[in-house]
Amino acid sequence: MRVWLNGKLVDRSQAKLTVFDHGTLYGDGVFEGIRAYGGKVFQCPAHIERLFASAKYIRLAIPYTKQELTQAVGDTLEANGVTDGYVRLVVTRGEGTLGLSPFKCTSPSVFIIADQIALYPDEMYEDGMAVIIAKTIRTSARMLRPSVKSLNYLNNILAKIEAVDAGVAEAIMLNEQGNVAECTGDNIFIAAGGKLVTPPLTADILGGITRRVVIELARRLGIETIERDIRPADIYAADECFLTGTAAEVIAVTKVGDRLIGDGAVGPITRKLLDSFRAFIRSGEDL
């Protein structure tokens, strides 16, 4: 494997950061997870824009232009012979002291990994997945703006541990108000009465890029999508439920805790949107 590190492609064994990097010491940095399909980077401009927006919010100056990072993503995929796979693009604060101050860090570190990813097994896309509602709540916007995709994922990891302990693959996280926010790594939708409902950005969610694509695909299919607060009871009463994310794509939720969603099978709207999403990927279209 070849890793792009601070402007150079190096062997995996040489892709190293100092232990004094604030990304290691404090989770001080930002990242993007990006997919490639058929040699084309999926929604690359949107991912790069979000990376720069996240970095700006935490006052982290990325030492490369958007164009340079776009090229670096392509170079990393090519160097590893990856045409269909996953890219992790990371910017850390760089080497600093043991103190918290980010202004004592010398220069940001940037690295890009291109590899394969299979977040969920194929059978889950056919049969749906079971999830739980986590006791760990989503980090509030009063603490950290949810639009910032930072390296500090401990909040999500604690909820993921709850899912693993429960023997399921994912956990739904609620916000401070007790409304549904998102899962540990994916956005969430429900279908009821032929309409889609998904939590709004104000529900302490990350504005997912796949989420945005699915909302547009639903519009094209004539499926009305409403962004509003969702309570756990709304999920239990829904006809369908599904998750969206860069790695997950579109995957049905058929059980929450001990309750089946709808008839416990992947519903027609979810299947239609998954098929539409896969067709959109093959088309190579950008939104």
Cα angle 107, 87, 187; round to 5: 105
Residues 96, 104 contacting (CB under 8 angstroms): yes
Can you say whether the dihedral through the CA atoms of 237, 233, 250, 134 is positive or negative?
negative
List 16, 149, 160, 255, catalytic entry:
149
Output the CA torsion 267→206→210→120 (10° steps).
Answer: -60
Residues 151, 23 contacting (CB under 8 angstroms): yes
74 vs 87: CA distance, rounded Å = 10
Say which DSSP state 21 is in: B
Residues 115, 35 contacting (CB under 8 angstroms): no
Q: How far is CA 157 from CA 128, 154, 185, 278, in A?
A: 22, 5, 9, 29
Could you tell me the two tokens for 63?
Answer: 């030492």
Q: Describe the chain by its helix, strand, coil percentages, rounded to 5.
A: 35, 30, 40
Instruction: For residue 149, indicate whether it is catalytic.
Output: yes
60 vs 58: CA distance, rounded Å = 6
Residues involved in catalysis: 149
